[in-house]
């Protein structure tokens, strides 16, 4: 029984972009007949192939798929006519013409703890097929460039049976579905179980009536309205802004509790992590609501950017993900505050993508090699992929962008396309040569752009130099085209030159401005016009000037951020915090006209991780404990200096109207909590405790609870919170996350260990695992404990998880990615933990690739 090969670490064989070959068959229709049962579901497949070129008929097939029968045009194949080799099935196929391949297999959904393919989540049958999950359901050409219409029959004695497309017939434990739009297998989905729908309706611009359903477990109906409303807003927006209409009579969204990622855009049947569907004021925070709206939009927008136009191969993942993230960011900017959204997006990009780009996991937006594709659903592919499109739009202008997108949809509808196709539509629509721009897709690493100024009687010269540090496998980085948006502000605060986009194409380049009456202050990289690190000497007074006078909200915020960073770096060098930053905070607090959400972002100090990154870039070895202490000291100093003003803001920002998750109210709550976070440093948690007791919404309750943990007096509140929400999984996840996250660094690992031993640490549930493990790894000084216990704890859990769910283990392993920047003792501990993982028997391909890259 024990097959030795199943215990050996998975082979680390890379797939290369340059090896792409078209599939030698067209697939004209896929018919599935699925009989669902928890332990043995059977799948009959009929695939209508027609030969297009010579070559073998090669299908993918998952290891755990029990293959019972194969036939071509009804004639059973004997053992000599096919061969199964690992995850590959080779079949002797007719040399020409069309034929139907039938197969019969049995799979075990209840044993599927990896949540890839067909699995059970809380009694609901569901699927996840992106990227390569369909092969765990049936043997198939599981690659995105093989597309077919699907006809699916589902059989199970369950009230709800769903698949892609439009319903053909239903009743008596059988449902038939037809999806007329040819699609790759990764967009297949089925769902079956006891579910309830919260329903709505949408009529498209050309008059198609679309039935909308958000399917949830009985009892969760009251928490599904916001998802439905978000879907309707997304459909309206995509018609209005991109001219894209929906193309089926039905759009279903299903919430499941066990899901490896956020959500999945299966054609007409999106499947979501319940965390991104379910919300009520007493269980979800403002941030949860904003994410739900954004992800519902993201998955809906995929219907055009991803489904109607898909990817030729998985190296082109950014073609759909970068573009769809860009579109969901535009949508959120339109629904809420564009300025605030931009700052939030830059914060995420820097925290996740810049960090990735600077370490051993750095890879291009379009990688050219991978071992396990699931390891490339990264911040680089998604968030940097979106930034690249933002730059393209800036370079060709709004009109050029609209023209190019129109051409993209016209020319490539129904295609499995590439980045070359994408760039070509921009070239054809605008006449611009994008060969240099393409480097943003092919070259990894974050460019560093230095800027210096020269002022001489009315002439201002800006000199820029760009360079990109080497990344794994790419030593040499030629200059890229970088759009640098600048504006000039006169000393009295007037804008003398409005935003202008400078196009930098050389390694070194200068730009001049003439006829200036007085030396202006330069506001550079407005709106974060390119994902680069701007290196620019500026004194604290000038930064403070920009913080109060810049007309570009991003640049204003950035000036304050730099001021805060430099203050912290000075403190870490043993200096005391300069007056400029503390004074600037005072001015911000006094500005009653400012947007509260914007002020809240300005009041938030840079994270400890951010400071460590900046130090490492500057050649200083970061000391996590010292960084933590400095940040705490600065927060305390701000609170002491501005106690009265913070109290006034705290009082003024109270929301008395009934809860709404909109930009206005959530902005007020976030400013209120930002003020409270500072006051918390000097009042021993008193105000946080009061807020916890009286707040009627989860935003303030969870915010207050986190602060109480920080203040070291939360035991009772934690028990109360747990008792109150013990039946609401998503809230208990917060409970698991907040404790290690806000624990004192020297207690964080012990807190995590203690929680991990609890009965309700249902670690096989990805959300629960991420809550606890992610809470710890986000506690910078706690995770990087000098004695290495944080690293050991993570290594233990990665190994345990890897045997059950390799995708989740691999994803969480990225917490190790910056290990080389710390001191020799920490490095020694990290190295030991990484080696321990690497030498484990039966390591998955997923975790094996990640740790292998991180360790090098
Ligand atoms: N296409 C999905 C999204 O971005 C992500 C699914 C990825 N899943 C995975 N197992 N890699 O919306
Ligand atoms: Zn996506």
Nearest to 260 by CA among 740, 769, 760: 769
CA 696 / ligand 1 centre spacing (Å): 34
Pairing of strands 117-121, 75-76: unpaired
Q: Which residues line ligand 1 (CB under 6 A)?
A: 130-131, 260-261, 263-265, 298-299, 321, 374, 377, 807
What are 277-328's pLDDT values in tens digits? 999 999 999 999 999 999 999 999 999 999 999 999 999 999 999 999 999 9
Q: At what angle do helices 624-641 and 579-590 cross, to 10 degrees?
A: 50
pLDDT of residue 1: 34
Q: Which atom of ligand 1 is nearest to the CA of 374?
A: 11
CA 694 / ligand 1 centre spacing (Å): 39
C-alpha span between 130 and 467 (Å, rounded): 36
CA 130 / ligand 1 centre spacing (Å): 6
pLDDT of residue 9: 81
CA 651 / ligand 2 centre spacing (Å): 40
CA 358 / ligand 2 centre spacing (Å): 24
**Does residue 247 contact residue 308 with C-beta atoms inside 8 Å?**
yes
pLDDT of residue 514: 96
Domain spans, the chain: 30-194, 309-442, 448-537, 547-670
CA 507 / ligand 1 centre spacing (Å): 37
C-alpha span between 695 and 482 (Å, rounded): 47
Task: Give me the residues near ligand 2 (ion), CB cutoff below 5 Å.
Answer: 321, 324
Nearest to 521 by CA among 538, 501, 500: 538
**Does residue 617 contact residue 778 with C-beta atoms inside 8 Å?**
no
Residue 69 neighbours by CB under 8 Å, 6+ apart: 76, 102, 103, 104
Nearest to 565 by CA among 515, 608, 507: 608
Q: Which atom of ligand 1 is nearest to the CA of 377?
A: 11
* Residue nearest atom 8 of ligand 1, based on CA coordinates: 130
Nearest ligand to residue 261 Cα:
1
Strands (E), 184-259: 190-193, 196-203, 209-216, 250-256
Domain 30-194 part of CATH 2.60.40.1730 = yes
pLDDT of residue 5: 47
Nearest to 488 by CA among 542, 556, 550: 550
C-alpha span between 672 and 668 (Å, rounded): 6
Task: Identify the three-state secondary structure at position 783.
Answer: helix
What are 354-410's pLDDT values in tens digits? 999 999 999 999 999 999 999 999 999 999 999 999 999 999 999 999 999 999 999
The domains spanning 30-194 and 547-670 adopt the same CATH topology? no
Query: Which CATH architecture best describes the domain 309-442?
Result: Orthogonal Bundle (1.10)
What are 513-560's pLDDT values in tens digits? 999 999 999 999 999 999 999 999 999 999 999 999 999 999 999 999
What are 789-814's pLDDT values in tens digits? 999 999 999 999 999 999 999 999 99
Written as one string, the DSSP assignment of 258-312 is: --SSSEE--TTEEEEEGGGT---TTT--HHHHHHHHHHHHHHHHTTTBTTTBEES
Pairing of strands 269-273, 250-256: parallel
Nearest to 635 by CA among 592, 604, 678: 678
On the question of pLDDT at 8 being above 90, the answer is no
Dig out the tokens for 560 from the structure.
């304050």
* Residue nearest atom 5 of ligand 1, based on CA coordinates: 264
Mean pLDDT in residue range 581-599: 97
* Residue nearest atom 11 of ligand 1, based on CA coordinates: 374
- Taking residue 592's Cβ as centre, other Cβ atoms within 10 Å add up to 10
Nearest to 255 by CA among 333, 198, 321: 198
* Residue nearest atom 3 of ligand 1, based on CA coordinates: 264
Pairing of strands 166-171, 124-128: unpaired
Q: Which atom of ligand 1 is nearest to the CA of 260?
A: 10
Q: Which atom of ligand 1 is nearest to the CA of 373?
A: 11
Nearest ligand to residue 327 Cα:
2
Edge-to-edge strand list for the sheet holding 57-60: 57-60, 88-91, 82-85
Written as one string, the DSSP assignment of 727-777 is: T-HHHHHHHHHHHHHHS-HHHHHHHHHHHHTSTT--TTSHHHHHHHHHHHH
Pairing of strands 88-91, 57-60: antiparallel
Phi-psi region of 520 (alpha: psi -120 to 50; beta: other; left: phi over 0): beta
* Residue nearest atom 1 of ligand 1, based on CA coordinates: 264
What are 697-712's pLDDT values in tens digits? 999 999 999 999 999 9
What does pLDDT average to over the chain? 97
Of the chain, the percentage scoring pLDDT greater than 90 comes to: 98
On the question of pLDDT at 3 being above 50, the answer is no
CA 659 / ligand 1 centre spacing (Å): 32
Catalytically annotated residues: 299
Q: Tell me which CATH code domain 448-537 carries.
A: 2.60.40.1840
* Residue nearest atom 2 of ligand 1, based on CA coordinates: 264
Nearest ligand to residue 115 Cα:
1
Grade residue 856 by pLDDT with cuts at 50, 70 and 90.
Answer: confident
Cα 404–chain centre separation: 26
Homologous superfamily of 547-670 in CATH?
Peptidase M1, alanyl aminopeptidase, C-terminal domain (1.25.50.10)
Alpha helices in 550-642 (DSSP H): 553-572, 579-590, 596-603, 608-617, 624-641
Of the chain, the percentage scoring pLDDT greater than 70 comes to: 99
ipTM above 0.90, yes or no: yes
C-alpha span between 388 and 410 (Å, rounded): 22
Pocket test for ligand 1, best of 261, 267, 379, 845 (most atoms within 8 A of CB): 261
Nearest to 564 by CA among 491, 523, 614, 619: 614
């Amino acid at each position: 029984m024990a097959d030795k090969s199943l215990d050996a670490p998975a082979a680390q064989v890379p797939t290369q972009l340059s090896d792409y070959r078209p599939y030698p068959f067209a697939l004209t229709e896929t018919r599935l007949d699925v009989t669902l049962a928890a332990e043995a579901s059977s799948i009959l497949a009929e695939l209508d192939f027609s030969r297009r070129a010579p070559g073998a008929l090669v299908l993918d097939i998952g290891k755990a798929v029990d293959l019972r029968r194969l036939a071509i045009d009804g004639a059973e194949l004997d053992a000599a006519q096919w061969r199964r080799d690992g995850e590959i099935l080779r079949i002797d196929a007719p040399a020409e013409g069309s034929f139907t391949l039938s197969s019969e297999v049995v799979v075990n959904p209840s044993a599927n703890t990896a949540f890839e393919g067909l699995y059970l989540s809380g009694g609901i049958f569901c699927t996840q097929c992106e990227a390569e999950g369909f092969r765990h359901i049936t043997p198939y050409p599981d690659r995105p460039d093989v597309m077919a219409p699907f006809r699916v029959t589902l059989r199970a004695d369950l009230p709800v049976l769903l698949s892609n497309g439009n319903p053909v017939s239903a009743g008596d434990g059988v449902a038939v579905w037809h999806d007329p739009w040819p699609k790759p297998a990764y967009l297949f989905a089925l769902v079956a179980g006891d579910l309830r729908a919260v329903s709505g309706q949408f009529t498209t611009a050309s008059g198609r009536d679309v039935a909308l359903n958000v399917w949830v477990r009985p009892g969760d109906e009251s928490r599904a309205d916001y998802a439905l409303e978000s879907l309707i807003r997304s459909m309206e927006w995509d018609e209005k802004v991109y001219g894209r209409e929906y193309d089926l009579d039905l759009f279903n969204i299903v919430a499941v509790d066990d899901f490896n990622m956020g959500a999945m855009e299966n054609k007409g049947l999106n499947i979501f992590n319940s965390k991104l569907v379910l919300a009520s004021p007493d269980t979800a925070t403002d941030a949860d609501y904003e994410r739900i709206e954004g992800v519902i939009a993201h998955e809906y927008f995929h219907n055009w950017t991803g489904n109607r136009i898909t990817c030729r191969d998985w190296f082109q993942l950014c073609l759909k993900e970068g573009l769809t993230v860009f579109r969901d960011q535009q949508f959120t900017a339109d629904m809420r505050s564009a300025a605030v959204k931009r700052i939030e997006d830059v914060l995420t990009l820097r925290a996740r993508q810049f960090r990735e780009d600077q370490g051993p996991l750095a890879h291009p937006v379009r990688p050219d090699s991978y071992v396990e594709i699931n390891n490339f659903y990264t911040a680089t592919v998604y968030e940097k992929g979106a930034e690249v499109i933002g730059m393209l739009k800036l370079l060709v202008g709004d009109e050029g962008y609209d023209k190019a997108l129109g051409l993209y949809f016209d020319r490539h509808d129904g295609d499995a396309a590439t980045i070359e196709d994408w760039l070509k539509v921009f070239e054809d629509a605008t006449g611009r040569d994008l060969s240099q721009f393409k480097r943003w897709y092919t070259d990894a690493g974050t460019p560093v752009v230095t800027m210096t100024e020269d002022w001489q009687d009315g002439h201002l010269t800006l000199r820029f130099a760009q360079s990109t540090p080497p990344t794994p496998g790419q030593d040499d980085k030629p200059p890229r085209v970088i759009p640098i948006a600048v504006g000039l502000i006169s000393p009295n605060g007037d804008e003398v030159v409005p935003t202008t986009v400078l196009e930098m194409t050389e390694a070194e380049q200068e730009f001049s401005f003439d006829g200036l009456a007085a030396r202006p202050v330069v506001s550079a990289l407005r709106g974060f016009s390119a994902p680069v690190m701007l290196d620019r000497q500026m004194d604290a007074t000038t930064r403070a000037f920009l913080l109060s006078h810049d007309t570009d909200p991003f640049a204003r915020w950035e000036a304050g951020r730099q001021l805060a960073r430099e203050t912290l770096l000075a403190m870490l060098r043993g200096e005391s915090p300069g007056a400029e930053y503390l004074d600037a905070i005072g001015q911000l607090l006094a500005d009653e006209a400012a947007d509260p959400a914007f002020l809240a972002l300005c009041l938030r100090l840079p994270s400890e991780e951010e400071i460590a990154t900046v130090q490492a870039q500057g050649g200083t070895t970061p000391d996590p404990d010292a960084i933590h202490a400095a940040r705490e000291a600065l927060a305390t100093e701000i609170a002491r200096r501005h106690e009265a003003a913070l109290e006034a803001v705290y009082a003024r920002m109270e929301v008395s109207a009934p809860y709404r998750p909109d930009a206005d109210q959530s902005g007020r709550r976030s400013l209120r909590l930002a003020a409270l976070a500072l006051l918390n440093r000097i009042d021993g948690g008193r105000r946080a405790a009061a807020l916890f007791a009286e707040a009627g919404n989860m935003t303030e309750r969870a915010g207050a609870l986190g602060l109480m943990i920080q203040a070291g007096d939360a035991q009772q509140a934690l028990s109360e919170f747990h008792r109150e929400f013990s039946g609401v999984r998503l809230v208990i996840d917060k409970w698991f996350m907040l404790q290690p996250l806000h624990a004192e660094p020297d207690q964080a690992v012990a807190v995590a260990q203690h929680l991990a031993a609890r009965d309700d640490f249902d670690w096989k549930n990805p959300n629960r695992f991420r809550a606890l493990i992610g809470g710890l790894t986000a506690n910078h000084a706690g995770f990087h404990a000098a004695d290495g216990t944080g690293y050991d704890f993570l290594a233990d859990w990665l190994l345990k998880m890897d045997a059950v769910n390799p995708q989740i283990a691999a994803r969480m392993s990225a917490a190790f990615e910056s290990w080389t920047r710390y001191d020799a003792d920490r490095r020694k501990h990290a190295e030991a933990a990484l080696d321990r993982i690497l030498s484990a028997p039966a390591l998955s391909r997923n975790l094996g690739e990640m740790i292998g890259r991180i360790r090098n």
